[in-house]
Structure 1
Amino acid sequence: MIQFEYTITDPLGIHARPAAELVKTATAYRSSISIQYRDKEISAKKMIALMSLGLKQSDKIKLSIQGEDEIEAAEELKHFLQEKL
């Protein structure tokens, strides 16, 4: 299992377009990918669940990735977050 934290830097937070891109990136992998924010933990592969978190700039999230392609998934998700959010 790989876990890492990320702080949202986009002034708009996670809105529909980046959320859809994040879900698309996550669903490309077989690994289980979850996002934890405060007391909620959701699948990064579910758009409605991701949007329900209401993530804004400066919010800190924790990603957990577990599965056969977890290393590749973690690398791509880290890159995505740094470039887009």
Structure 2
Amino acid sequence: MKKVTEIVKLATGIQARPAAQFVQIATRFGSEVLLEYKGREVNAKSIMGIMSLAVPSGEEVTITTSGSDEEEAMDQILQFIGSEE
């Protein structure tokens, strides 16, 4: 299991289109992927879960990956939320 806390640098945060992209990245992997924001943790493969968090830009989130490809999943997710698109 890997657990990393990171600042969201996406200009619009993890809402709407970026939320869908986040879910697409998470679903590429067999590992369990969780996203936590302000004490709420959701399955990162659920668009409704991600949208319900409404994470704005500049906020801190915690990502947890667990499974056979957890390293690669974590790397791809961190790369995505760290970009300033």
TM-score, normalized by the shorter chain, greater than 0.5: yes
- Who is 1:5 aligned against? 5
Higher mean C-alpha deviation, range 11-20 or range 64-73? 11-20
- Who is 1:30 aligned against? 30
Is 1:58 paired with 2:58? yes
Instruction: Say if 2:33 and 2:65, in contact at 8 Å, map to a contact too.
Output: yes
Percent of aligned pairs with the same residue? 29
- Long gaps (5+) in structure 2: none
Please give the alpha-carbon distance, in whole angstroms, between the structure 1 residues aligned to 2:73 and 2:20: 16
1:45 is matched by which residue type in structure 2? Answer: K
Q: RMSD of aligned C-alpha atoms?
A: 1.4
Aligned length: 85
Give deviations 1:24-73, integer Å, cap 9, x for gaps. Answer: 00000000000111121000000011010111122110000000111111
3-state SS of the aligned residue for 1:83?
coil
Instruction: Say if 1:16 and 1:51, in contact at 8 Å, map to a contact too.
Output: yes
Instruction: Say if 2:9 and 2:83, in contact at 8 Å, map to a contact too.
Output: no
3-state SS of the aligned residue for 1:3?
strand
Please give the alpha-carbon distance, in whole angstroms, between the structure 2 residues aligned to 1:41 and 1:83: 22
Please give the alpha-carbon distance, in whole angstroms, between the structure 2 residues aligned to 1:47 and 1:24: 9
- Who is 2:43 aligned against? 43
Instruction: Say if 1:35 and 1:42, in contact at 8 Å, map to a contact too.
Output: yes
- Long gaps (5+) in structure 1: none
TM-score normalised by length of structure 2: 0.90
TM-score normalised by length of structure 1: 0.90
